[in-house]
Amino acid sequence: MEAQLRGTRKSGRDRGGNRNDDRGRGRGRSRRRCRAEDDNNQDRVLSKALSWVLRHGAPSIGLNISTDGYIPIAAILLSDTRGLKKFTEDDVRKVVASNDKQRFSLSERQIIISSDDRKKYSFVVSTDDSNNCASVKALCIRANQGHSIQGIVAEDLLTPIPSEELKNLDIIVHGTNKYAWEKYIYNEGLKRMNRNHIHFAPGLPQSNSHVISGMRKDCEIHIFVDGAKCAKDSVKFYRSTNGVILTPGIDNEGTLPVDYFSSIIDTKTDTELLSEK
């Protein structure tokens, strides 16, 4: 029995004293797996840091942002914030290309660097009458939606949805949890809170509608919006590059009242909740 065990083990040396290759291959696979996991973790760290800067934090760390949401990558990577200095432009390109929700876009823009500090710059626009000979081309990045930064122009960042198209949209749905529905939304409607827009998806994530972004798969409540009523009342809606549907709401508080809901579904019980109001 002992001899059989020696003859079948997967590591160590064989009977001739030669090292069995299986152990080396196992260690190699383990190292490669660890490296892949570390790379994925670093990608998540970078993605979260970029999301925060591009959606919310740029002004607080002294970064100028264009009206359509772009910031030079080089300027972002000079920031001490959230470990960004350790990443490279190639790292950013990788995160943009691999992000499953297509949260980011890249674009080359002309900028004017106002001093030796590469974080001090301005964007060249077509109506700029200044001497553009000093401008340089810079690779820039933006978040496609989700902003709270003031000064971003919705019509520059997003595509307006015409009323004729809005009224014919099959699905405009917002996902939330049961607590938020019962505590707030039931009486107050949807609010954009500290963001510039309320977010919706053009379909359910678990369906075959190829929904990329706009709501989580595990939402407890699905709130469907009446596009025809919104179009009739001239409520503004937009579409982002990654397919998210957005509205600023109908008032200064950024609210979409319950009157514009067509259906509310409890996903756990498949129960209609709107009839309970």
What amino acid is encoded at 24 in this protein?
G
Handedness of CA 83, 89, 90, 94 (dihedral sign): positive
Q: Looking at residue 44, what is its pLDDT?
A: 94
Residue 17 pLDDT > 80: no
- C-beta of residue 119 within 8 angstroms of C-beta of residue 70: no
Q: What is the pLDDT of residues 180-215, one digit of tens each?
A: 999 999 999 999 999 999 999 998 876 555 565 667
User: What is the distance between the alpha carbons of residues 222 and 73, in angstroms, rounded to a whole number?
Assistant: 37
One domain, residues 166 and 83: no
One domain, residues 237 and 186: yes
Handedness of CA 253, 159, 169, 178 (dihedral sign): negative
Q: What is the CA radius of gyration of the chain?
A: 26
Of the chain, the end-to-end C-alpha distance in Å amounts to 75
User: What is the distance between the alpha carbons of residues 186 and 173, in angstroms, rounded to a whole number?
Assistant: 15
User: What is the distance between the alpha carbons of residues 265 and 215, in angstroms, rounded to a whole number?
Assistant: 14
Domain count for the chain: 2
| 7-21, 38-52, 91-105, 163-177: segment of lowest average pLDDT | 7-21
- C-beta of residue 75 within 8 angstroms of C-beta of residue 87: no
Among residues 99, 119, 143, the one where a domain terminates is 143
Q: Are strands 255-256 and 271-272 parallel, antiparallel or unpaired?
A: unpaired
How confident is residue 31, by pLDDT bands cut at 50, 70 and 90? low
- C-beta of residue 28 within 8 angstroms of C-beta of residue 34: no
The answer to whether position 193 is within a domain reads yes
Q: What's the length of the chain? A: 277
Residue 29 pLDDT > 70: no
Q: Looking at residue 3, what is its pLDDT?
A: 43
Q: What is the pLDDT of residues 87-111, one digit of tens each?
A: 999 999 999 999 988 999 999 999 9
Question: Between vectors from CA 226 to CA 201 and to CA 104, what angle results, nearest 5°?
Answer: 20
Q: Looking at residue 134, what is its pLDDT?
A: 78
Q: What CATH number corresponds to the domain at position 117?
A: 1.10.10.970
- C-beta of residue 44 within 8 angstroms of C-beta of residue 31: no
Among residues 117, 143, 169, the one where a domain terminates is 143
Q: What CATH number corresponds to the domain at position 202?
A: 3.20.170.30
The answer to whether position 33 is within a domain reads no
The answer to whether position 91 is within a domain reads yes
Q: Which residue has the higher pLDDT, 232 or 252?
A: 232
Residue 115 pLDDT > 90: no
Among residues 78, 110, 143, the one where a domain terminates is 143
One domain, residues 65 and 115: yes
- The range of the structural domain enclosing residue 243 comes to 158-276
Q: Mean pLDDT across the stretch 113-128? A: 77
pTM score of the predicted model: 0.81
The answer to whether position 135 is within a domain reads yes
One domain, residues 110 and 194: no
Q: Looking at residue 114, what is its pLDDT?
A: 77
One domain, residues 129 and 191: no
How confident is residue 275, by pLDDT bands cut at 50, 70 and 90? confident
